[in-house]
Structure 1
Amino acid sequence: MKNYKVSVRTLAEYVYKSGSITSGFRATASLAEGTRIHQQIQKQYGEHDVKEVPLALEQNYEDIVFFIEGRCDGLLAAGQSYTIDEIKSTALDLHTLTETSYPVHWAQAKCYAAMFALLHNLDEIGVQLTYVQKNTEEIKRFKVNCSRQELAVFLEDMIKGFYHYANWKLQHLEERNKSCRDLPFPFENYRDGQRKLAGAVYKTINEKANLFANAPTGIGKTASTIFPSLKIMGQGECQKIFYLTAKTITRQTAEDTFSLMMDRGLVCKTVTITAKDKICFHDNGSCNPNECEFANGYYDRVNNAMLDILEHEQLITRSVIEEYAKKHNLCPFEFSLDLAYVCDAVVCDYNYVFDPRVSLKRMLDEQKKDTVLLVDEAHNLVDRARSMFSAELYKTPFLRIKRENKVNEPAISRAAKNINQYFIEEKKSLDNHYNKIMQNLPDDLLKGLEAFIEAAEPFLLERSGGGEHEDLLQGYFDVQNFLKISKLVDEHYSIYFEIQQNDAKIKLFCLNPSGLLKNILSGFRSAILFSATLSPAGYFMDMLGGGEEDYRISVPSPFTAEQNEVLISRISTRYRNREESIDRITDLLINILDGRKGNYLVFFPSHQYMNNVYGAFTAASSVNTIIQGSAMTEDEREGFLNSFQENKDSLFVGFAVLGGIFSEGVDLKGDRLSGVIITGVGLPQIGFERDIIKSHFQDQGKNGYDYAYVFPGMNKVLQAGGRLIRSEDDHGLIVLIDDRFLTAKYQGMLPENWKNYNLY
Structure 2
Amino acid sequence: MFDAIYISVRTLVEHVFRSGSIDSRFRSQSTLLDGTRIHQLIQKTYQESDRKEVYLRTEMKVKDLSFIIDGRCDGLLFRDDVVVIDEIKSYSQPSEQIQQGGYPVHWAQAKLYAYMYAKENDLEKIAVQLTYVQVDTLEKTYFKEICCFTELEVFLGKVIEDYSPYANLLHEHRRSRNESCKELAFPFDSYRAGQRKLAGVVYKSILDKKNLFAKAPTGIGKTISTLFPSVKAIGEGHLDKVFYLTAKTITRTTAEEAFKKMRACGLCMSTVTITAKDKICLKDETNCQKDYCEFANGYYDRINDAILDILTNEEGMTREVIEFYAKKHTVCPFEFSLDLAYAVDSIICDYNYVFDPRVSLKRLFEEQKKSTALLVDEAHNLVDRGREMFSSSLNKDIFVQLKKEFKGVNKSLFDAANKVNAWFLILKKKHQDKHEFTLDHLDEELMEHLMQFVEITEQVLLTETSQTLLEAYFMVNNFLKVTELLDEDYVIYVEKVKNDFIVKLFCMDPAKLLQQMGKGYRSKIFFSATLSPLSYYQDILGGQEDDYALSIPSPFSSDQVDVHIHPLSTRFRDRDRTKESIVSVIQTLIKRRPGNYLIFFPSYQYLLAVYDQFKQKDEDTHTIIQATGMTETEREAFLEAFQPNQSETLLGFAVLGGIFSEGVDLIGDRLNGVVVVGVGLPQLCFERNLIKDHFNQKNKNGYDYAYVYPGMNKVLQAGGRLIRSEEDHGTIVLIDDRFLQRQYQQLLPLEWKLYTVGSPQKH
Q: Please indicate the TM-score interval, normalised by the length of the shorter structure.
A: over 0.9
CA contact (8 A) 2:283 2:293 kept: yes
CA distance in 2, matches of 1:332, 1:661: 26
**CA separation of 1:551/1:41 partners in 2, compared to 1, >3 Å: closer, same or farther?**
farther
RMSD of equivalent CA atoms:
1.8
Report the equivalent of 1:138. 138
Unaligned runs of 5+ in 2: 759-763
1:727 maps to a residue whose letter is S
The correspondence of residues 512-523 of structure 1 with structure 2, limited to 5 A, is: 512-523=509-520
Q: Give the SS at the match of 2:731.
A: strand
- Aligned to 1:749, what secondary structure does the other structure show? coil
Asked if structure 2 preserves the Cα contact closer than 8 Å seen for 1:23 and 1:289, the reply is no
**Please, which of 452, 469, 473 is the counterpart of residue 472 of structure 1?**
469
Q: 1:727 to 1:409 in 2, by over 3 A?
A: same
Residues 613, 754 of structure 1: alpha-carbon distance in 2 compared, 3 angstrom cutoff: same
Identity between Structure 1 and Structure 2 (%): 55
Return the letter of the residue paired with 1:381.
L
Residue 733 of structure 2 corresponds to residue 735 of structure 1:
yes
Give the count of matched residue pairs.
Answer: 755
CA spacing shift, 1:33–1:197, aligned 2, 3 Å: farther
Task: Note the 1:520-559 alignment, pairs <5 A.
Answer: 520-559=517-556
Name the stretch that deviates more: 260-269 or 498-507.
Answer: 498-507
Partner of 1:711: 709
Q: How does 1:529-678 map to 2 (within 5 A)?
A: 529-621=526-618, 622-647=620-645, 649-678=647-676
Against the structure 1 CA distance between its residues 455 and 129, is the aligned structure 2 distance closer, same or farther, given a 3 Å change threshold?
A: farther
Which has the larger displacement, 442-451 or 157-166? 442-451
Structure 2 match to 1:299: 300
How many angstroms apart in 1 are the aligned matches of 2:563 and 2:31?
55
| Bigger mean CA deviation after superposition, 224-233 or 447-456 | 447-456
**Amino acid of the residue matched to residue 145 of structure 1?**
E
User: Superposition pairs for residues 51-450 of structure 1, below 5 Å?
Assistant: 51-94=52-95, 96-99=97-100, 102-132=103-133, 136=136, 138=138, 140-148=140-148, 149-450=150-451
Shift of 1:411: 3.1
Instruction: Judge which range, 439-448 or 385-394, deviates more.
Output: 439-448
Structure 1 residues 24 and 669 mapped into 2: Cα distance closer, same or farther (>3 Å)? farther
Distance 1:614 1:101 in 2: 69
Q: Distance in 2 between matches of 1:686 and 1:102?
A: 59
Query: In 2, distance between residues paired with 1:89 and 1:440?
Result: 36
User: Do the aligned partners of 1:126 and 1:143 also contact (CA within 8 Å) in 2?
Assistant: no
Answer yes or no: is the 8 Å Cα contact 1:697–1:703 preserved in 2: yes
After superposing the two structures, state which structure 1 stretch, 37-46 or 87-96, moved more.
87-96
User: Is residue 242–residue 346 contact of structure 1 (8 Å, CA) maintained in 2?
Assistant: yes
Deviation (angstroms), 1:36: 5.1
8 Å contact from structure 1 (residues 251, 348) kept in 2: yes
What does 1:676-687 align with in structure 2 at a 5 Å threshold? Answer: 676-687=674-685
1:3 Cα offset (Å): 2.8
- Deviation at 1:455? 1.9
SS at structure 2 position matched to 1:85: strand
**Alpha carbons of 1:32 and 1:366: their partners in 2 closer, same or farther (altered >3 Å)?**
farther
Describe the shift of the 1:83–1:524 C-alpha distance in structure 2 as closer, same or farther (beyond 3 A). same
Q: How far off is 1:294 after superposition?
A: 0.6
Supply the AA of the counterpart residue of 1:660. G
Using structure 2 for the length normalisation, give the TM-score: 0.96
- d(CA) in 1 for partners of 2:96, 2:589: 77
SS of 1:237's partner is coil
The aligned residue for residue 761 of structure 2 is none
In structure 2, C-alpha distance between the alignment counterparts of 1:95 and 1:419, rounded to whole Å: 37
**Aligned counterparts of 2:433 and 2:88: Cα–Cα separation in 1:** 53
Amino acid aligned to 2:522: R
Q: Is the CA contact 2:130–2:144 (under 8 Å) kept in the aligned structure 1?
A: no
Q: Distance in 1 between matches of 2:580 and 2:613?
A: 7
Which moves more between the two structures, 629-638 or 417-426?
417-426
Cα distance in structure 2, aligned partners of 1:81 and 1:745: 78
- Pick which of 728-737 and 413-422 moved more: 413-422
Q: Distance in 2 between the 1:558 and 1:256 partners?
A: 23
Aligned-partner Cα distance in 1 for 2:139–2:227: 50
Matched to 1:22, the amino acid is: D
**1:418-457 deviation per Cα after TM superposition (whole angstroms, max 9, x unaligned):** 2222222222221321232111122222222222222222
Could you tell which deviates more after superposition, 13-22 or 34-43? 34-43
* Amino acid in the other structure paired with 1:277: D
**Alpha carbons of structure 1 residues 97 and 476: separation in structure 2 relative to 1, 3 Å:** farther
- 1:686 Cα offset (Å): 1.0
Which sits farther off after the overlay, 641-650 or 300-309? 641-650
**How far is the alpha carbon of 1:386 from its aligned partner?**
0.3
CA distance 1:188–1:552, shift in 2 (3 Å): same
Shift of 1:33: 6.6
- 1:460 matched residue in structure 2: 461
CA distance in 1, matches of 2:45, 2:737: 73
TM-aligned CA distance change 1:646 to 1:368, over 3 Å: same
Query: What SS does structure 2 have at the residue aligned with 1:617?
Result: helix
Measure the CA separation in 1 of the matches of 2:109 and 2:461: 28
Conserved 8 A contact 2:102-2:143 = no
Q: What residue number does 1:43 align with?
A: 44
Deviations 1:383-410 (A, max 9, x none): 0000011111112222222333344443
1:749 maps to: 747
8 Å CA contact retained: 2:128, 2:147: no
Deviation (angstroms), 1:302: 0.3
Structure 1 unpaired stretches of 5+: none
- Report SS of the residue matched to 1:454: helix
SS in 2 for 1:448: helix
- Structure 2: distance between partners of 1:697 and 1:24: 43
- Which deviates the most, 496-505 or 416-425? 416-425
Q: Relative to structure 1, is the Cα distance of residues 139 and 699 closer, same or farther in structure 2, using a 3 angstrom cutoff? A: farther
